[in-house]
Structure 1
C-alpha cells in the first residue's frame, strides 16, 4: 500500500494559502511512470469506462478544464491522482487506507465500483469548492460503491476537507482546522468525528446520511463509556502488526518534525512512539509550514533517529526497521497550493524525493 499525505490549513502556512500534498508511490516491486497534463472540456470524456473495475458512467456535459497526473503506460488505467480545476479547486486521490473485518462484513467492498483510477476524472472537472467535492464524491460512493478503502483530499483557498471511505458505500469527512495540519500514512486516520455537527450545521464534519445508524446497528462503536466521544479510528480502522512497521511510524516522524517540543517523541518515556496507535490525526504546528517543509517531510527517511536506513555510524541495530516516507518507487509528489488572490500553484517532482526538486506550475 503506497502514498503519504499531509494537509495544512491556511492559518498554519507561511503565506496564508492552503497546502495539500501527497506522495504517489508505485506498488511494491514496480515503478509506474506518470505524466503531467491539462485536460480541456473538449478532451474530457462524456462516456467513461474504467480499466480496473470496468464501471461505466455518463458524465455531465459541462466539465471545467483541469490538470492531472495520469499513467503513461496504456492499459493500466487513468489513475490521474492529483490536480487543480479552472475554479481553483484542488483534489488529491487517493491515499490507500485500512479497515477491519467488522466494517467490511457489514458493508462489503464493491468489485465493480469506483476507485483510485476514477475519482479525479469523474469528480474534479465538476466541483466548485472543497466542500462541494466531498458532497459530490459522497453521492457517487453511495450510488456506485467502491472496490477499495481510500482517503481523498479536497482544497480551495479557504478550506481543506479530507474524506475516508468506510466499507463499500459509506464515508466520512472532516475539515482540517485552519491553524493545523493533518497527516495520513496509508491508514484510516480521522480520530474524532461529531455526528451532531454532521447532521446539523456541518461546519467541520460530513458523512453518509445513515452512518450513525450504520455504526449502531453493526456494533462498531468500541468506546467503553456511552459518554465518551466516538472514536472513528477504532470503529472503522485497523491497528494490525503491519501498521506498526508500515504506517504509524510515518505519522510519528512527520509530527515529530513539526511539533518537536509539544510531546516527547523519543526514549522509554515517549508520549508517542513509532508504533503508537493514538498518534493524532492533526496538530497545531509549532511554527508556520512552508513548501520546503512539505518537500522535506515527504522525502523523509527518519534522519536524526535510530531508524534511518541510510545511517553510516553509531548503533545500526534498528536502522531500516520501519517503512520510510521517501522511497525509490515514488512516482511523483504533488503539492497543491491554493492562494487567496485567485491563483494556484502546483508543485511537482517525479521519482524519489530524496534526490529531486519541486517544479512550480502556475
Structure 2
C-alpha cells in the first residue's frame, strides 16, 4: 500500500512543485539515508534487483532518500523515495491489477527509483531515460515476496511533474501533471486517454497502443481513443486491493480530491486530478498524506471495529490515506528560485504520519542523524527513531480519543507549525550566508535540521513514557 501526490507549480502557494508520498508496508522500519555523488570505473556495472547487471555511468548524482528494511531480490532495502542534487524527486506505488504480460528478468520497480535518483537531470529527462533503459533491458514484476506487482511512479522537478506507469514486458506511458492542478495516485494505474499528438504532455513506449490492439484490448475501429488504464489494467488483482474501484484505492482517491477541491465526487468516478479550491502549501500536502477519513461520510471511527475508543486505524489495509501501516512519508518541496542545495527542501515523518511529525531536511543537509538511519524488523531498538515513533503510534491505539487526540497530535502539530514559521525566516539567512560562504551555509542548515530531528525524537520518547505511566500503569509494550 502506498499513495502519492504531485502539485503543479501554478497550484502551489509559492510557485514550487510539490511531490508527496506515503510508503505503507506494515511493520518494516523506514530509514532516511544520504548517498554522495560517486565516480565509477570505465567498466563498472549497476546491479539490479533481479541480479542482472547493466552498464554504470561514469558519475552518479548525490541524493537523499527514504528506504524500507525489507529484502527485494538482491536489495536488502527497498521501495525508495527521494530527491537528488538536481531537485529531481521520485515516488513509487505498486500496482496489483494489471495485464500479466510475460517478461524475462529485467529492470524492476525498485530499480527505477534508484536510476532516477542516480541519473535524473530533470523530470522529463528521467522519464525518457527510464524509457530507453526499459526498451533495452525489459521490465518485469517486482521481486517483493507476496507483492509481485507492476508500478506507477511520480517524478518531479521544480518546473513539472509526471506520472510514469509501466507494464511487465516494457510498455509504458507518462502523463504530465497540469501546472494548475493537484494529481494523485493510489495503488493503481491512472493514466486514461493518451493524446499521441501532444508530446509535451504525454510520453510513451513505441507500440504501446498497437500491442494493446493486437491483444484485442484496444479497438480503434470502434471509434474509441486509446486508454492506457482500461487496456492494461485487469479485472483480476493479485491481492485484495488492486483494482481502481476497490475501496482501498477508491476511498483514498476520493478523499484526496475532496480535500483539495471541496467537491464530493461520486466514489466510482475516476477523478485523479483537479484544480484545487485554494493554492496548496507544504502544510496542506502534509494534511492530505495523513488524513484518516475522520469527519467524512466514510469516517472509520464510526465502524464497530473501531471499538469504544473510536480508533480509525483498526483496518489491516486501510481505506484512508494515512494508515497505521505507514512506514514513512516524504514531501519534496522543489523550488527553482534558489540554489538546489536550499531549494530542494524535503520533509519526512516516520511510522504513522498522523501520529508522528514531519521534519525538515535539505539536499544540502546531506541526510539526517544516525538515529534516523537504523532499525530492523521485529527488533525493537530504542536508539532507532523509527521504532520510537512506531511504539508511540501503537500506544495511541490503546485509547485513541484520549491519548492520540489530547496527548500526541496537538504536540506534534505545534512543532510542525513552529518549524514552518521558523524556516520562513531561517531560509533568508541560509540564502544570505550562501552568497558569502556556501559551505558554512550548508553546515548551518544541517545543524538546524539535525537539531529539529533530535528534539522531535526526544519529545516522542517522553510522550511514550508519559502515556505508559498515565494510561497503561507502566506496562511496557
Q: Which residue number corresponds to residue 35 of structure 1?
A: 31
Q: Which residue number corresponds to residue 186 of structure 1?
A: 187
Q: Structure 1, residues 81-124: CA drift from partner, whole Å, max 9, x if none?
A: 122222222222x2112444xx32xx3244x2222322232332
Q: What TM-score does the superposition give when structure 1 sets the normalisation length?
A: 0.83
The answer to which structure, 1 or 2, has the higher relative contact order (CA under 8 A, 6+ apart) is 1
Q: Which residue number corresponds to residue 268 of structure 1?
A: none
Q: Which residue number corresponds to residue 272 of structure 2?
A: 281
Equivalent pairs, count? 332
Q: What TM-score does the superposition give when structure 2 sets the normalisation length?
A: 0.64
Instruction: Supply the distance in 2 between the matched residues of 1:85 and 1:356 (Cα, whole angstroms).
Output: 25
Q: Does 1:295 align with 2:270?
A: no
SS of match in other structure, 1:335: strand
Structure 2, unaligned stretches of length 5 or more?
A: 142-149, 363-477
Structure 1, unaligned stretches of length 5 or more?
A: 266-270
SS of match in other structure, 2:109: coil
Q: Which residue number corresponds to residue 350 of structure 1?
A: 350
Q: Which residue number corresponds to residue 122 of structure 1?
A: 115
Contact 2:40–2:59 (CA under 8 A) maintained in structure 1: no
Q: Which residue number corresponds to residue 310 of structure 1?
A: 301
Q: Which residue number corresponds to residue 46 of structure 2?
A: 48
Contact 1:99–1:237 (CA under 8 A) maintained in structure 2: yes
* Structure 1, 251-260 or 217-226: larger mean CA deviation: 217-226
Instruction: Supply the distance in 2 between the matched residues of 1:231 and 1:71 (Cα, whole angstroms).
Output: 33
Instruction: Supply the distance in 2 between the matched residues of 1:143 and 1:78 (Cα, whole angstroms).
Output: 25
Which protein has the larger Cα radius of gyration, Structure 1 or Structure 2? 2
Instruction: Supply the distance in 2 between the matched residues of 1:186 and 1:71 (Cα, whole angstroms).
Output: 18
Q: Which residue number corresponds to residue 155 of structure 2?
A: 154
SS of match in other structure, 2:323: coil
Q: Compare the two structures and name the one with the higher helix fraction.
A: 2
Q: Does 1:175 align with 2:158?
A: no
Q: Which of the residues 203, 212, 215 maps onto 2:212?
A: 215
Instruction: Supply the distance in 2 between the matched residues of 1:214 and 1:155 (Cα, whole angstroms).
Output: 28
* Structure 1, 155-164 or 187-196: larger mean CA deviation: 187-196
Contact 1:99–1:166 (CA under 8 A) maintained in structure 2: no
Instruction: Supply the distance in 2 between the matched residues of 1:222 and 1:331 (Cα, whole angstroms).
Output: 42
CA RMSD of aligned residues (A): 2.6
Contact 2:330–2:346 (CA under 8 A) maintained in structure 1: yes
Q: Which residue number corresponds to residue 89 of structure 1?
A: 88
Instruction: Supply the distance in 2 between the matched residues of 1:306 and 1:44 (Cα, whole angstroms).
Output: 55
Q: Which of the residues 124, 131, 148 maps onto 1:131?
A: 124
Instruction: Supply the distance in 2 between the matched residues of 1:174 and 1:97 (Cα, whole angstroms).
Output: 17
How far is 1:225 from its partner? 4.4
